[in-house]
Amino acid sequence: MAHSNNSLVTGKLRGSLGKELVFREWEGKTVVAKAPKSREGDPTPAQAETQEKFLLASRYARAIIRSPDKGMTEAYAAVLRPRQNVYSRALEDFLSPPVVKSINTRNYKGAAGDKIAVRAIDDFRVVSVRVEIYAANGTLLEAGNAVQSTNGLDWTYTATQANNLAGSKITAIATDVPENEGSLEVTL
């Protein structure tokens, strides 16, 4: 890949030259690259699924940039990595669901008022964590939103009902800004 500082030859070229070269501007420089080859045949089901995800991610990123409320644009701009713009940061956030790393039940003994700690991370921001407690037979006993701790990683849920712990399941579902979900389940 060649780089140019907008010389007399390349000027402010953008686009393709035949089917061989592609010119684009990046950080004030003209970048010249080999043109991509077109694919032959229909995409596989996995490729079609990836293309659909990327299409949705692209629409999300464009919506962030075009939104009259610039709050999210500024939030993404604050966490850019080198050679990244707001569009690519929003695109990356859409394609990266949050991960629930752990559910700590050390302080949960099955009584109302007991605490369950959840650690959830995302490449940008986790906006909510929902905790669901199921009885051993699979019946939903209670569900609600956890409260974020001051460290920004941990969330605390306070149980509202008594529960016989044997065989109970606790599910934590983290949601990020583009409303992707990641979950983890533990059995007591």
- Say what the pLDDT of residue 21 is: 83
- Say what the pLDDT of residue 133 is: 95
β-pair type (147-148, 99-104)? unpaired
CB 165, CB 109: distance < 8 Å: yes
- Say what the pLDDT of residue 50 is: 95
The owner of tokens 């009259």 is: 68
CB 157, CB 146: distance < 8 Å: yes
- Say what the pLDDT of residue 144 is: 96
DSSP string for 38-93: PP-SPPPHHHHHHHHHHHHHHHHHHHHHH-S-THHHHHHHTTPPTT--HHHHHHHH
Per-residue pLDDT of the chain (188 residues; tens, 9 = 90+): 555 555 555 566 677 777 788 887 777 777 788 888 888 889 999 999 999 999 999 999 999 999 998 999 999 999 998 889 999 999 999 999 999 999 999 999 989 999 999 999 999 999 999 999 999 899 999 999 999 999 888 999 999 999 888 889 999 999 999 999 999 999 98
- Say what the pLDDT of residue 166 is: 86
CB 91, CB 61: distance < 8 Å: yes
The pTM assigned to this predicted structure is 0.79
So where are the chain's domains? 2-34, 45-95, 99-187
C-alpha angle with apex 169: 168 to 175, nearest 5 degrees?
155
- CATH architecture type of domain 99-187: Sandwich (2.60)
- Say what the pLDDT of residue 26 is: 74
CA-nearest of 98, 67, 96, 93 to 79 is 93
